[in-house]
Amino acid sequence: MRVVAVTGTNTSVGKTVAVAALTACALAAGRTVAVVKPVQTGVPPGGPGDLDDVARLTGATDLHEYARFGEPLAPGTAARRLGVPGPRISWLAEQIAAIPAHDLMLIEGAGGPLVEFNAAGETLVDLLRALGRTVPVEVLLVASAGLGVLNLAALTARALSCADLPLAGVVVGDWPADPDLAARCNLADLPRYAGADLAGVVPAGSGRLDRAQFAAVARQSLAPCFDGNFDASAFARSAAGQESAAR
């Protein structure tokens, strides 16, 4: 079973849509997929969360969420405001380990990899290290497109490296229809700052597509290592062409 954790340089960078794209491509390739959101925040009990978006966009059915806090905060902060400790990493790891084996398991974090899950200060990094004792875990970093992301990408990659968590690639999660100079330059710079290949570029607004449209966009947005047909070099040339045309 391949286990890929999806984290971000920060919040609202397109992690959930990237997870949906990974799911859509794997399903189209005939693979079985389980998707895990260990902790959901910013959604009230019974409300549609990130896993509902994945289901709507892909038709995936093996979806797992273990804790939810209604306020749009870091999980540990949201738990503290409710007077509860938050889920322990050891318990979350047990729940995830009990999921039947699939070709691919995707684990979506909350915010970045060092965001605290509980009062003990445990993070996604701690969860992935716990899981990694029994199965290899890769990390896919989702980054925003524009100015300011390079330092965040470098810091995030360093945190993962210090925890001996291999970075499988970096994906731009919100590529604009009219990219500015910073976004176009970041296509070349992000892999260098993150120390990993550019594994995809997901257009902004993809989460509003219907399932068939999304499946097509997903294949175009992810590299072959994730069952897509994205070509980083060709995409960079196309972006450079946009820059030349704008001059």
- Give 2-246's CATH code, choosing from 3.90.1150.10, 3.65.10.10, 3.40.50.1110, 3.40.50.300: 3.40.50.300
The per-residue pLDDT for 243 is 57
Spatial separation of the C-alpha atoms in residues 22 and 223, rounded to whole Å = 10
Q: Which of 31, 75, 29, 86 is nearest to 50 (CA)?
A: 75
Could you tell me the CA-to-CA distances from 220 to 56, 108, 201, 224 in Å, in that order?
Answer: 19, 21, 8, 10
Tens-digit pLDDT string for the chain (247 aa): 999 999 999 888 999 999 999 999 999 999 999 999 999 999 998 999 999 999 999 999 999 999 999 999 999 999 999 999 999 999 999 999 999 999 999 999 998 999 999 999 999 999 999 999 999 999 999 999 999 999 999 999 999 999 999 999 999 999 999 999 999 999 999 999 999 999 999 999 999 999 999 999 999 999 999 999 999 999 988 887 665 555 5
Q: Bridge partners of 175?
A: 203
Q: Are 190 and 239 in contact (CB under 8 A)?
A: no
The domain limits of the chain are: 2-246
Task: Report the pLDDT value the prediction gives residue 239, as an integer from 0 to 100.
Answer: 82
Q: Can you name the residues that pair with 171 across neighbouring β-strands?
A: 142, 200
10 Å CB burial of residue 100 (0-12, 13-18, 19+) is exposed
Residue with tokens 């979350």: 92
State residue 115's pLDDT score: 95
pLDDT of residue 241: 67
**Per-residue CA distances from 242 to 179, 182, 187 (Å):** 9, 13, 13
Cβ atoms of 21 and 176 within 8 Å: the answer is no
Say which of 37, 68, 184, 219 is annotated catalytic: 37
pTM (2 d.p.):
0.95
Residue 44: is it exposed, middle or buried by C-beta count within 10 angstroms (0-12/13-18/19+)? exposed
The pLDDT assigned to 39 comes to 97
Close Cβ partners of 8 (under 8 Å, ≥ 6 residues apart): 14, 15, 109, 111, 112, 141, 142, 143, 156, 173
Q: Is 15 annotated as catalytic?
A: no
Which pLDDT score is estimated for 247?
Answer: 52
The SS3 assignment for 8 reads strand
